[in-house]
Amino acid sequence: MNTQLHNKVSIETHGCKLNQADSGKLALEFIEAGFELVENGQPTNIHIVNTCTVTHVADRKARRSLRAAKRQNPEATIVATGCYVDRDEKSLLEIPEIDIVANNANKATLVGEIIANQGDEFVSCTLGTDQVPINLKAIRTRASIKIQEGCDQVCAYCIVPKVRGRERSIPADKLVASIQNLENIGYKEIILTGTQLGTYGFDITHGPNKLHLLIDHILQNTTVERLRVSSIQPQEINSDLLRVWENPRVCPHMHIPLQSGSDVILKNMRRRYTRIEYLNAIKAVKSKFSDFSLTTDIIVGFPGESKKDHLDTVDLVKNVEFSKLHVFPFSVRPGTTAAHLNNQVASSIKSFRVDELIRLGEEKSRSYRKQLIGTVRPVLWEDRKNGKWIGLTDNYVRVCLSDERDLYNKISPVMIEEESNGYLNCLLIE
């Protein structure tokens, strides 16, 4: 039987883990429909860019990617989807290289629309009992699954509520079924993602209706080896939630967004915690789990940010054992409250402050990595570059290993030996 695939699709994902979850779902839908998923940069019939719009830089990256995709594959169908579409669909429709524009709501029917657009050119290879092989490397070894969508908190700087809508939760049994499917495909790690994870379940009347209850439910009804929680707001951390990390299948890592160490700026941002409350949340985590990896986000140069406000942020970072900082200069997003604020910080000042925090973040990362030398950690191997395997520890640190064996998508214990070029060299424990 001739099962040669007539249609190839590549998916390029920008932005957050929520977008990664959406892209992963699209990838599986395409595979089930008879498409071959190929890695970005390879010849393809269809190229999808799942866009981000959190900053003007993200917008520019999306436009460049869409135009580059058409140059690389002139005959391909180029699709723009994601948050940029929800924010400014009109401008994307004016880009001649784009063939299809689909907002976040239309992602659910995007595969069907593309098949219809292909017409007679589309030939499914899922004939008889033959199945399309899933190229796990093209999808990633870790799967993000969306447990919740939207945000009701409306921070002053954030465009997400406008492009993702109001908060709504996905029922636990549906999530379990999805995770079981991903397990069967071969995934070893599942990342629970969403815009506002800590409010999960407020709109659910039957079944697990709290984040910690959902995690318990997933652990009881699946066998996935690693479960990771993508992001938790500091005001949502409590003893019930922390308890779930006692299970060794839940990765000892938390991403707790800071945004600013200044109470003045936090209030103007409409964040729902103070500097002290943030530090207390960190203390609660570290007092219970000493080996936790903590990562965070910081926005630099929010309107009205003074030198003192910036130094408050620097001081807080110096006093927390972060393993990684994600530092972003404030970017005006049309439609947000912050877009109308006076006292915009000069670009030169923002650049200086960003550089200072990036350097500090690199120091914190090196310090954390050095603490791991001599310890044993489980590693999920994801890629092989220049003769070395690259993997991710349970506490979210990149390591590398020289080994000729095929370790792809396997979890194995390693001894951390030394730091080298941003990675930790390690020795496989037999």
The enclosing domain of 182 has a CATH number of 3.30.750.210
Query: Pairing mode, if any, of strands 36-37 and 77-82?
Result: unpaired
Q: Is 180 helix (H, G, I), strand (E, B) or coil?
A: helix
pLDDT tens digits, 307-337: 999 999 999 999 999 999 999 999 998 889 9
Amino acid at 29: E
Work out whether the CA dihedral 246, 250, 252, 258 comes out positive or negative: negative
> Which residue range forms the structural domain that includes residue 28?
8-121
**Is 132 domain-assigned?**
no
Q: Are residues 115 and 189 in the same domain?
A: no
What is the secondary structure of 27-89 as a DSSP string? HHHHHHTTPEE--TTS--SEEEEEE--SSHHHHHHHHHHHHHHHHH-TTSEEEEEEHHHHHHH
Q: Are residues 68 and 113 in the same domain?
A: yes
| Amino acid 170: pLDDT | 94
Q: Are residues 401 and 420 in the same domain?
A: yes
Q: Are residues 156 and 188 in the same domain?
A: yes
Q: Are residues 109 and 84 in the same domain?
A: yes
Pairwise CA distance, residues 39 & 64, whole Å:
18
Query: pLDDT grade, residue 265 (50/70/90)?
Result: very high
Q: Count the domains in the chain.
A: 4
Q: Count of residues for the chain? A: 430
Q: Does residue 137 surpass a pLDDT of 70?
A: no
What is the secondary structure of 201-269 as a DSSP string? TTT--SS--SHHHHHHHHHHH---SEEEE----GGG--HHHHHGGGSTTB-SEEE---B-S-HHHHHHH
Query: Pairing mode, if any, of strands 423-428 and 398-402?
Result: parallel
Q: Are residues 161 and 178 in the same domain?
A: yes
Q: Are residues 116 and 146 in the same domain?
A: no
* Percent of the chain at pLDDT exceeding 90: 68
Which DSSP helix (H) or strand (E) runs through 117? helix 110-118
Q: Are residues 262 and 351 in the same domain?
A: yes
| Amino acid 125: pLDDT | 44
- Residue with the bigger pLDDT between 115 and 155: it is 155
pLDDT tens digits, 29-49: 888 888 888 888 888 989 999
**Is 135 domain-assigned?**
no
Q: Does residue 135 surpass a pLDDT of 70?
A: no
